[in-house]
Amino acid sequence: GKTTLSSEIFTLLSDKYDIEYIDGDEYRKLWKTPMSFSKVDRDINVNCMGMIAHFLNKNGTNVIIASISPYQSMREFNRELIKCTESEYFHVHVQCDIDTLKKRDTKGLYKQTDIKLTGVDDPYETPENADITVNTALHSIDTCIQNILLSLAQKGIIGLVI
């Protein structure tokens, strides 16, 4: 889902734009003290990725972050943080039903019993103002990517990518 979409879009855009990619699962592994999946640790993790994007944006670098951001308050915080750099914040809501996620489970998360899964054991607040929603259970990855790129181009964030 989100990692596949983000990494493919990064690859498509990296030749044309100064851009960095942050994968939320990989980023989580960088903490010296392991992060739990509590609300506090999730907020810290999402906030820190937002801060990194903020500093990169201030220096002209675009950032793609592939991460679950389950709480509206953190999404709004990061939106405001990025807007103050005079950069565009573009939120892609990647939607997928739990049954499909369990079938895919490429990272083995649904087999683990020691973590709280967003949308299963821990709440997920559906975004109130995502720029686009793509459903990876209903549409192919290629279709989702094309829809995201088209939406970015329509908003004037990127040129049209074919």
Enzyme catalytic residues: 69
Helix (H) or strand (E) holding 57: helix 39-58
Biggest alpha carbon–alpha carbon distance for the chain: 44
Q: What is the crossing angle of helices 39-58 and 72-83, to 10°?
A: 10
Amino acid in the structure at residue 119 = G
For Cα atoms 158, 86, 6, give the angle at the middle one, nearest 5 degrees. 40
Which residues, 6+ apart, have CB-to-CB distance to 22 below 8 Å?
A: 49, 52, 53, 63, 64, 65, 66, 67
Three-state helix/strand/coil letters over 65-118: EECCCCCHHHHHHHHHHHHCCCCCCCCEEEECCHHHHHHHCCCCHHHCCCCCCE
